[in-house]
Amino acid sequence: MISITEIPIGSVVFETVERYKATVVAVQVHMNGCHRVVLQEHKLKDGRPVKRDSVDIQSIEMREPKTRGVIAGPATDVIALRAKCAATGYEGTITVVETGPSGQRDFYIQSADRHNGERVEGIWVPEPLVKMIDKKRPMEERQAGTGFVNCPTR
């Protein structure tokens, strides 16, 4: 199995579930531990590139690694931390870190707030606009000493 530190962005891979060849255009690390790649297929539909697809890393095989392509890190420095968008003031928890072809990271910030009983939609924020609120993860505070992160205790 390939890890995110072995996938240079821009590499050509084969997606084994739906069976197509594509280019890796970004790598995502999710708070739940899932690692995904964002793929762009090598075909057009109605003269336009087909929609990008985000797939689990376990479903790809490396075909043509890009030499000197950007390689994403594990994102453990920021994942699950509370943060704020400097432009909008939106606050929440970083639940996804996406690294693109230039090496810039974008963070998906999800609020725990509810509006009329519905969860508020999260937003993507580029790293330069993210201001960290806390250096400690909320679930670490709640479950200190259990050895589990974000897992219920029995």
pLDDT digits (tens, 9 = 90+) for 55-87: 999 999 999 999 888 988 888 899 999 999 999
> 11-15, 106-110, 141-145: which range is least confident on average?
141-145
Give the contacts of 52 (CB within 8 A, at least 6 positions apart): 25, 38, 39, 40
Residue 141: its pLDDT value, please? Answer: 53
Topology match between the domains 4-64 and 82-142: yes
Kindly state the average pLDDT of the residues 132-152.
Answer: 57
* Beta strands in the chain, from DSSP E residues, in sequence order: 12-15, 20-30, 35-41, 44-45, 48-49, 53-56, 60-64, 82-85, 91-99, 105-110, 114-115, 118-119, 123-126, 130-132
Residue 2: its pLDDT value, please? Answer: 84
The CATH class for the domain spanning 4-64 reads mainly beta
The CATH number that domain 82-142 falls under is 2.30.30
Q: For residues 41 and 104, what is the distance between their CA atoms, to the nearest angstrom?
A: 22
- Categorize the per-residue pLDDT at 30 as very low, low, confident or very high, splitting at 50, 70 and 90: very high
* pTM score, whole prediction: 0.80
Q: Flag whether pLDDT at 48 surpasses 90.
A: no
Kindly state the average pLDDT of the residues 116-143.
Answer: 80
Cβ distance 2 to 65 under 8 Å?
Answer: no
Domain range list for the chain: 4-64, 82-142
Q: Flag whether pLDDT at 114 surpasses 80.
A: no
> 2-11, 43-52, 63-72: which range is least confident on average?
43-52
